[in-house]
């Protein structure tokens, strides 16, 4: 006996919009309409003109399978809209291969009837002889109908087929018949709901309940509920185990135990709420968990394979104490466009390129660990971490567009190129901030403030930057070459700033203001302190290596002692003021001020070619010592030596060719040259000449002065 399979309108066993092909006839006629094209041929039939393609799936092949051979017969009813359409009908038969999730044609060519349709419904019957083909258990037959030209097809017409009729031999009695007698498996599910074939579909328009296990095990299986999907038993399990499996709930999906997604590209989607009471596991590359409303998990959220995605357009919450959010494979993503909140224990991002993103708020009550290269933790508004935030691998990023704050214990950035970035504020780090590897970056576009203990930048090219304000209340240590501490507005150091390697940079674009007596140490070549406004140091400033620089565009103020001890050190730009002592102790040291250089104590220039220069005025109250060959003291405006008491001020020139020049004017109480007092009435074999608006030059100081002309 043969097996006749009727083309039906139902979609109980098909994939997506595909139709059923069953041994039972239908109930009422339905249609498929296809548009003709100029010169067209073999156009697959569509549900509506230009709409969804039509295809029909049989039930699953039973245990033992069968071999398809001999003649296959097709029967179809239809019409054309106009005789110029020149249209008829054709068909092809396919095998769904379960092992490879593919579709293979078994007819060797298009089967067709070239008798043109009329403009009223009529039947066409035709056959095909497929190649002998073996079908194994759970595979399916697939039929596709085609609009076939009978001569040259005319454009702008339509052709219609009818199917799903309940009466044999009448309009809509469209079927396919094979020689073999086969009873295909039904799709009945009584307790467990299992999807074991590619493209299986279970649809509930209101509510779908399963009290035990819902299993989806083949690629592109679909479970859809337009209302609610409920897994009510405490021990219930929802498993999506094959590529492209999909669970969709337009309203609410609830599971009280475990939701497991174990194959690449599995998708769990809820337009409103997805609630998981225990564990959500995503274990294969590209699995997707999407809730446009809310996603709640009360215990553990695990994203364990490359490019897994957990996404909620509303809110993602983990509410159990000791709960964990684990990202353990490359490119895992936890994304919420509104809030990622209430992770009460540990959020771990453990593999390269993992991403935790919240457009509004992310709250971590215990620890956030970013442990692999290129991990990213992003909060577009606010991120609160109440314990420890650890970035331990290269290129880890902790980013808050508005604020990354309230790190109440320790923030560690431990590997090269780790980044902690807040475009508004990085604040309230109440213990220690440690940046330990080359190129680590801590950046706040508005404020990096309230680091109340120790900020340590220990590796080359580490950067601590605040484009508005940076406040550190205890000690800032910059210990490797090219370390940067930068604030575009103000940098406040209450205790000590230590810079110990070449090319370290301490830069305040507006001003650097320590609040209590402190110490600044520059101990390696090319160290730099820069202030666009004023630089104030209350205690001792040491510049100890070649080419160290203290630069202020407005004023550099040192209230104790400024020591410039290595060749080519530079201090000052606009104005320099030192209250007790300025010591320049190496060859080629330079003290330059565009505005004024003022000293209330002693100026010592003690090595060859040291230079002390200002474009406007030099004011020295008690002593100036110029002690080495070619040392220069130059003022383009006026040089004034004023004692604290009305007795004398001292100028000592102790090497040949030492020079003091004043292009505008000078006021001298006494000049001490080799312990001899030279006054305006003194006589000497050498000549000292000074005129108003001319240089004042003392040369050959080893000779006794007999004469000074004023």
pLDDT tens profile 360-400: 877 777 777 778 888 887 778 877 777 667 777 888 887 77
Q: What is the pLDDT of residues 65-94, one digit of tens each?
A: 999 998 999 999 999 999 999 999 999 999
Q: Output DSSP code: residue 53.
A: B
Q: Cβ atoms within 10 A of the Cβ of 644, count?
A: 10
Mean pLDDT of 346-350: 76
Q: Which residue, 234, 202, 232, 228, is CA-closest to 215?
A: 202
Which residues lie below 8 Å from residue 475, measured CB to CB, with a gap of 6+?
454, 455, 495, 496, 497, 498
Is residue 308 within 8 Å of residue 329, measured between CB atoms? yes
* Residue in 557, 613, 552, 619 with CA at minimum distance from that of residue 588: 613
pLDDT at 191: 52
Which pLDDT does position 696 carry in this prediction? 42
583-640 per-position pLDDT tens digit? 777 777 777 777 788 777 777 777 777 777 787 877 777 777 777 777 777 777 777 7
Confidence at residue 339, expressed as pLDDT on a 0 to 100 scale:
78
List the single range of 27-36, 165-174, 248-257 with lowest mean pLDDT: 248-257
| 376-380, 515-519, 530-534, range with the lowest pLDDT | 515-519
The highest-confidence range among 14-28, 34-48, 417-431, 675-689, by mean pLDDT, is: 34-48
- Confidence check: pLDDT of 669 > 60: no
- At residue 83, the pLDDT reads 94
pLDDT at 43: 96
What's residue 523's pLDDT?
73
Residue 584 is given by DSSP the state: E
pLDDT value, residue 710? 26
Distance set, CA 270 to CA 289, 318, 535 (Å): 9, 17, 59
> Is residue 412 pLDDT above 80, yes or no?
no
Mean pLDDT of 167-188: 89
Residue 401 has pLDDT above 90, yes or no: no
Q: What distance lies between CA 600 and its chain's CA centroid? A: 54
**Is pLDDT at 453 greater than 80 in this prediction?**
no
Report the pLDDT value the prediction gives residue 281, as an integer from 0 to 100.
Answer: 78
Of all residues in the chain, the percent with pLDDT exceeding 90 is: 22
Q: pLDDT-derived band of residue 564, with 50, 70 and 90 as boundaries?
A: confident
Strands (E), 323-381: 324-327, 333-336, 339-343, 346-349, 355-358, 361-364, 367-370, 376-379
pLDDT digits (tens, 9 = 90+) for 286-324: 788 777 787 777 767 777 777 788 777 887 777 665 667
Residues 455-508 pLDDT 10s = 677 777 777 777 777 766 666 777 777 777 777 777 777 667 777 777 777 777
Check whether 705 has a pLDDT greater than 70: no
| 531 or 703: which leads in pLDDT | 531
pLDDT at residue 511, rounded to an integer: 66
CA neighbor of 254 nearest in space, from 296, 220, 221: 296
pLDDT value, residue 490: 73
pLDDT grade, residue 188 (50/70/90)?
Answer: very low
CA 120 to chain centre: 64
Q: What is the mean pLDDT of residues 536-559?
A: 72
User: Mean pLDDT across the stretch 412-428?
Assistant: 75
Q: What value does the mean pLDDT of the chain take?
A: 75
Give the rounded distance of the alpha carbon of 643 from its chain centre: 63
pLDDT tens digits along 200-215? 777 776 666 666 667 7
pLDDT recorded at residue 148: 95
Residue 320: helix, strand or coil by DSSP? Answer: coil
Highest mean pLDDT among 193-197, 669-673, 684-688: 193-197
Reported as a pLDDT band with limits 50, 70 and 90, residue 690 is: very low
C-alpha to C-alpha distances, 139 to 474, 517, 683, nearest whole angstrom: 74, 85, 123
Range 328-355 average pLDDT: 78
Q: What is the pLDDT of residues 94-111, one digit of tens each?
A: 999 888 878 999 998 999
pLDDT attached to residue 6: 97
pLDDT at res. 409: 66
Token digits of residue 51? 């709409």
Asked if residues 637 and 661 have their Cβ atoms less than 8 Å apart, the reply is no
């Amino acid at each position: 006996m043969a097996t006749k399979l009727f083309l039906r309108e139902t979609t109980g066993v098909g994939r997506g919009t595909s139709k059923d092909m069953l041994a039972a006839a239908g109930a009422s006629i339905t249609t498929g309409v296809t548009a003709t094209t100029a010169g067209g041929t073999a156009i697959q039939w569509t549900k509506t003109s230009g709409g969804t393609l039509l295809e029909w799936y049989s039930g699953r092949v039973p245990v033992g399978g069968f071999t398809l051979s001999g003649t296959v017969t097709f029967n179809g009813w239809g019409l054309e809209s106009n005789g110029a359409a020149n249209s008829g009908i054709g068909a092809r038969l396919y095998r769904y291969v379960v092992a490879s999730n593919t579709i293979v044609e078994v007819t060797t060519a298009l089967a067709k009837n070239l008798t043109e349709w009329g403009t009223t419904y009529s039947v066409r019957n035709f056959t095909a002889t497929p190649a002998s083909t073996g079908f194994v258990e759970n595979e399916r037959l697939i039929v596709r109908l085609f609009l076939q030209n009978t001569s040259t097809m005319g454009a702008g017409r339509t052709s219609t087929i009818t199917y799903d009729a309940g009466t044999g031999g009448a309009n809509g009695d469209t079927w396919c018949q094979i020689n073999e007698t086969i009873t295909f498996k039904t799709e009945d599910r009584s307790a467990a709901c299992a999807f074991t074939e590619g493209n299986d579909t279970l649809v509930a328009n209101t509510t779908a309940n399963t009290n035990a296990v819902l299993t989806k095990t083949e690629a592109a299986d679909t479970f859809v509920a337009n209302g609610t999907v409920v897994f009510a038993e405490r021990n219930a399990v929802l498993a999506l185990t094959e590529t492209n499996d999909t669970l969709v709930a337009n309203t609410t999906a609830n599971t009280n135990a475990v939701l497991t997604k174990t194959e690449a590209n599995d998708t769990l989607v809820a337009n409103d709420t997805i609630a998981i009471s225990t564990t959500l596991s995503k274990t294969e590359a590209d699995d997707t968990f999407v809730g446009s409303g809310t996603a709640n998990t009360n215990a553990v959220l695990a994203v364990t394979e490359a490019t897994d995605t957990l996404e909620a357009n509303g809110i993602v919450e983990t509410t159990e104490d000791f709960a964990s959010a684990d990202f353990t494979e490359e490119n895992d993503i936890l994304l919420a466009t509104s809030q990622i909140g209430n992770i009460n224990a540990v959020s771990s991002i453990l593999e390269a390129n993992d991403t935790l993103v919240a457009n509004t708020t992310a709250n971590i009550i215990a620890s956030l660990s970013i442990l692999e290269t290129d991990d990213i933790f992003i909060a577009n508004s606010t991120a609160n971490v109440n314990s420890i935030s650890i970035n331990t691998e290269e290129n880890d990023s902790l980013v808050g567009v508005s604020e990354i704050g309230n790190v109440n214990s320790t923030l560690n950035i431990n590997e090269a190129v780790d980044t902690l970035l807040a475009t508004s504020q990085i604040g309230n780090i109440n213990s220690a901030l440690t940046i330990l590897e080359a190129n680590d970056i801590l950046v706040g576009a508005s404020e990096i403030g309230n680091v109340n203990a120790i900020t340590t930048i220990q590796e080359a090219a580490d950067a601590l930057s605040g484009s508005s304000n940076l406040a550190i209340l205890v000690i800032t240590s910059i210990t490797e070459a090219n370390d940067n501490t930068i604030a575009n507005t103000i940098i406040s150091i209450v205790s000590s700033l230590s810079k110990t390697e070449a090319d370290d940079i301490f830069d305040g674009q507006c001003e650097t203001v320590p609040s209590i007596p402190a110490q600044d140490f520059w101990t390696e070549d090319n160290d730099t302190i820069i202030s666009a406004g004023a630089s104030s140091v209350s205690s001792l400033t040491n510049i100890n290596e070649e080419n160290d620089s203290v630069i202020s565009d407005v004023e550099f103020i040192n209230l104790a002692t400024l020591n410039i001890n290595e060749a080519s050190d530079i201090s000052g730009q606009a104005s320099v003021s030192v209250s007790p002592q300025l010591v320049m102790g190496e060859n080629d040291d330079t003290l330059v001020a565009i505005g004024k250089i003022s000293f209330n104590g002693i100026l010592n220039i003690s090595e060859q070619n040291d230079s002390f220069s200002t474009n406007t005025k030099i004011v020295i109250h008690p002593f100036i010592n110029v002690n080495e060959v070619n040392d220069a003291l130059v003022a383009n405006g006026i040089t004034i030596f004023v004692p604290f008491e009305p007795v004398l001020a001292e100028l000592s020139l102790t090497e040949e060719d030492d020079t003091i020049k004043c292009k505008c004017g000078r006021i001298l109480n006494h000049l001490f040259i080799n312990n001899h007092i030279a006054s305006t009435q003194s006589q000497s074999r050498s000549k000292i000449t000074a005129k108003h608006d001319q240089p004042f030059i003392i040369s050959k100081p080893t000779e006794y002065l007999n004469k000074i002309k004023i």
